[in-house]
Chains A and B, each alone.
Chain A
Amino acid sequence: SQTIHQWPATLVQPVGSPLSLECTVEGTSNPNLYWYRQAAGRGLQLLFYSVGIGQISSEVPQNLSASRPQDRQFILSSKKLLLSDSGFYLCAWNTGVAGGPEQYFGPGTRLTVT
């Protein structure tokens, strides 16, 4: 069966510091991968998605970037964090070309920028 991991689970970082969040998926090949942010409200904002290694689509211009160095690894980064980057970051996957649009989420990373 497929499993999605995110780490760290929680992170407290000062303003201006760098960020690296990691997401990995097990048990599948060539997945589509997604990064979402959930701010203090409840909405899910799509930040980036990737349909393959090195292929990144950005949905919202911002202080963040994403990379996909391996088939099942998706990384969210920032060079300098802002207070507004605080939130709950969720990674998700689906089977991409081989399957349908069903997305499955990871456990999330709670980021607090102080």
Chain B
Amino acid sequence: GENVEQHPSTLSVQEGDSAVIKCTYSDSASNYFPWYKQELGKGPQLIIDIRSNVGEKKDQRIAVTLNKTAKHFSLHITETQPEDSAVYFCAASRDSGYSTLTFGKGTMLLVSP
């Protein structure tokens, strides 16, 4: 089955800095890679996703890059703000409504004012 590794487990940055979270996956058949943000005591929220037919996707201050050859993908947050502080999860699956997501273990991002 699929295995997703996520690094780092904790990331502390100053407000305004950039943050990068990296994930690797094992199943070459995976072609859908979402990122979730989970604030304390809440359910995870889908913030951005990428499919294997593109190498990069941006949405305002967040971007995701994908390297299918190396089987890794990354989340980039620019101009971080204190409200970006949360736990971020990456996941991987096949691009099908029947597929289940395999999650990484999460990264706690702390943005200091």
Contact = CB atoms under 8 A, between A and B. Distances in A.
Interface string B61-82: 0000000000000000000000
B105 A41 contact: yes
A59 B49 CA distance: 24
B98 A96 contact: yes
Interface string A81-114: 0000000001010111111111111111010000
A49 B99 CA distance: 10
B108 to A, nearest CB: 7
Contacts of A64: none
A16 B44 CA distance: 30
Given A95-B97, A100-B32, A101-B97, A106 B46 contact: no
Contacts of B36: 105
A105 B103 contact: no
Interface residues of B, number: 26
A102 B45 contact: no
A98 to B, nearest CB: 7
Instruction: Say which size band chain A's interface belongs to.
Output: 20 to 34
Interface stretch (B12-20, B21-29, B52-60, B87-95): B87-95
A19 interface: no
Contacts of B97: 32, 94-101
A101 B32 contact: yes
A42 B105 contact: yes
A90 to B, nearest CB: 5
A101 B43 contact: no
A46 interface: yes
A110 B43 CA distance: 11
Contacts of B103: 43-44
4 smallest CB-CB distances across A and B, nearest first, come from A42-B106, A105-B43, A44-B103, A96-B97
